[in-house]
Amino acid sequence: LFYMAIVDAWYMMMELLHYASPGLDAAARAALRSQTVAHTVEIVDGFLLATFMLIFGMGLYELFVSRIDQAMATETASRVLAIHSLDDLKTRLAKVVLMILVVRFFEYALGMNFETPFDLLQFGGGIALVGLALYLAHLSDEKAH
């Protein structure tokens, strides 16, 4: 998944070289800009999914097979890579899933068309709920430390 996200990022950068072309009119440049933002969100989503899989795999290995020596080598690495219990693994994975959902919400929001005031109200409510979820996740982090 990391490889796929890197390849997608490379091809997106190649497409961006056309952005400076004098042959592009304002409408084509705006379309390329919106496509670039959408592709960037997709690439970030790909990296987050790859991170989820990496944490899941390393966490299961550390829980059921053996400790990962590199995870204990430094103080910062031990906090990120060291999994001490199944609940610890679930907590770390839940945070990555939350970030994936935030990115998906942003991706969905890019394609939204607001036709009624209620659509705008729903969008604002969605933003408030995402903010609340991030706040609660941060609050649980502070209580754990």
Closest CA to 85 of 58, 63, 64: 63
Tokens standing for residue 48: 């987050």
pLDDT higher than threshold 60 for residue 13 = yes
Give me the domain span that covers residue 103.
Answer: 2-111
Residue 20 belongs to a domain? yes
**Number of domains the chain is built from:** 1
pLDDT digits (tens, 9 = 90+) for 107-120: 777 777 888 888 88
- Whether residue 23 is contained in a domain is answered as yes
Per-residue pLDDT at 123: 84
Quote the CA–CA distance of 110 and 101 in Å, as a whole number: 14
What is residue 55's predicted lDDT score, i.e. its pLDDT? 81
Asked if residue 33 has pLDDT above 60, the reply is yes
pLDDT digits (tens, 9 = 90+) for 74-91: 666 556 566 777 777 777
User: 37, 38, 36, 48: which is closest to 4 by C-alpha?
Assistant: 48
